Amino acid sequence: MIKGMRKMYVYVMFSVLFLGLPFLVTQAAHAGILYATDDNVDAFYTLNTTTGAATSIGSTGQDLSLSGLAYDTSTRTMYVSDVTLESGWGLGTIDLTTGAVTVIGSHVITSDIHGLAYDPISNVLYGSDIDNCSLDTISRATGAATIVGVFGGEGPCDIRCLAFDVATDTIYGMDLTNLYTINKTTGTATVVGPHGIPFGWYIGCEIDSDTGVMYAAGAGSTNLYRINKATGAATVIGPTGLTTISGLASVPTGRPAPTCTYTSLLPTAPTNIGTLSPGLYMGWDPLVLRPFGLEEASGMLTGRLWLPCWQNGNVDIYLVLDAPPYGGKFMLSEFGQWLSFPANIAPWLANTSGELSVPLFSLLKSGILPGTYGLDVIIVPSGTPASTISQIVSGSATASYYKWSFTKTLP
């Protein structure tokens, strides 16, 4: 459930691009693992993103039909669409270690969800519905599809794959000719440009959330391609050895697996810990926990976040930076977007219960504008509404939460 380390690298890049600070990254980000389904043989693979070569994981044990793939980072679940049922087609999950598919249920209103994409910002699973020429949302509990809106506009009816870009909050889709962006509120598709790949009926596409690189593969070509998201143009990576890839999905790797050395209970009443002097020693009792550490050494400021496992449910974590020298308060979203607060509210990490220990940044102290900075670390039960988060930041909330506030003055 720990979603990963990429956020820390984006945090540092924000410091460079927005604050203009020199920086030191303590660890390099990693590319995700790219998975694929081949509908001709109903099997599950990994693809080498350097060479294109496929490595078999195993049979799905189900009849796949133009199936899309998407990885839900909030639950660490791989979903597959268009699994053949006794009556119709539906959603399933795939075991990453064996390839075995477990059926969830029918898509109900359609027999053709050819593309899947998971949006971690909105926590929504989207599907490309060929029967209704539409963007749909897909229930992960039942498999049922609900139409968001028709592709319309410049979009044809055969957008065969979907991919979500967390860096820009954008859904991309591909048909046999073009790359599109798709409005996730209306479903409207807009042409980006031709990809130039001789695809047949099947297409799989995905954007690696660790690197931002878009990939595509499908029937009519045995190659894996890199896609330019600005123009649509494709560049050959190399042969996969597969002839009918229909789904691609990437699993992030730059993130630690959850551990559970220490545990704490979810908040049952509002708890504002107040202002603490940042320290690197942190206990596991939430009433004395110091989840943020700030260390000064050799002219560098290094920040680290530490939190325990949660025993009685999942939590959402919010980070709010008060930076008056740079114009006010900002909220760091899960995938590194710095959002103006309170106009925008998004969790840094959503729906987690595992232990977390990550370095957030390492910055040259001399490159930071003088002033007093603040950081609020807020823990709430998963699903707490944005309105409550705003109240917690302002100090007026009556709902359950933990909040720790840290300040640092730089001369």
pLDDT tens for each residue of the chain, 411 residues long: 222 333 333 333 333 333 333 333 223 234 688 999 988 888 999 998 888 999 999 999 888 877 889 999 888 899 999 888 877 888 999 999 899 999 999 989 888 888 999 998 889 999 999 889 999 999 999 999 999 999 985 556 789 999 999 888 899 999 999 999 999 999 999 999 999 998 887 899 999 887 788 999 988 889 999 999 999 999 999 999 998 999 999 988 764 434 466 667 777 788 877 766 554 444 445 555 667 777 777 788 777 777 777 766 778 889 998 889 988 898 877 656 678 888 888 888 877 776 776 767 777 888 888 988 888 889 888 889 999 999 999 888 888 888 888 888 888
Distance CA 284, CA 306 (A): 9
Residue 246 buriedness (CB in 10 A; 0-12 / 13-18 / 19+): buried
In 3D space, the residue among 91, 30, 10 whose CA is nearest the CA of residue 332 turns out to be 10
* pLDDT tens sequence across 349-391: 877 776 776 767 777 888 888 988 888 889 888 889 999 999 9
Query: Domains in the chain, start-ordered, CATH in brackets?
Result: 6-27+257-410 (no CATH), 33-251 (2.120.10.30)
pTM exceeding 0.75: no
Buried b (16+ CB within 10 A) or exposed e, 341-370: bbeebbbbbbbbbbbbbbbbbbbeeeebee
CA angle 237–238–242, rounded 5-degree value: 125
Question: Tokens 């059926």 correspond to what residue?
Answer: 103
* pLDDT tens sequence across 252-283: 876 443 446 666 777 778 887 776 655 444 44
392: phi then psi, degrees, rounded to nearest 5: -65, -45
Query: Is-contact 142 120, C-beta < 8 A?
Result: no
Token couple for 17: 């691009």
